[in-house]
Amino acid sequence: MSKSKLTYTSAITELEEIVKDIESGEIDVDVLTVKVKRASELITFCKDRLRNTQKEVEKTLVDIAEEPGAEEDKLPESNTPVF
């Protein structure tokens, strides 16, 4: 799979396949090395994607809070957490 078309979902799917192959115990040692390296790349990709998504969401929430009239739309605070 080329990196330019890699998505978070496709990376997770590929990682699951690698784990399944490794857990089967029927994988050649040389192939194992390649699979572990690929898994490492995919994990790094997923972590970066999650970090970037978190930053984008946080920025969007800050932008929303700073919009004119945002204080008027704000609900009274309560002890109930918002999810």
- Averaged in consecutive runs of 10 residues, what is the pLDDT profile of the chain (83 residues)? 78 97 92 96 98 96 83 58 55
Kindly report, residue by residue over 51-67, the tens digit of the pLDDT.
999 999 999 999 998 88
3-state secondary structure of 17: helix
List the domain range (segments joined by +) for residue 59: 3-65
Give the CATH number, domain containing residue 22.
1.10.287
Total of domains in the chain: 1
Q: Where are the alpha helices (DSSP H) in 3-28?
A: 8-24
Structural domain includes residue 83: no
The pTM for the full model equals 0.70
> Residue 73: its pLDDT value, please?
53
Instruction: Report the candidate in 34, 46, 62 with the shortest Cα–Cα distance to residue 3.
Output: 46
Residue 74's Cα: distance from chain center in Å? Answer: 30
Is residue 12 assigned to a domain? yes
**What is the full DSSP assignment across 45-81?**
HHHHHHHHHHHHHHHHHHHHHHSTTHHHHPPPP-SSP
Residue 32 falls within a domain, yes or no? yes
pLDDT at 83: 52
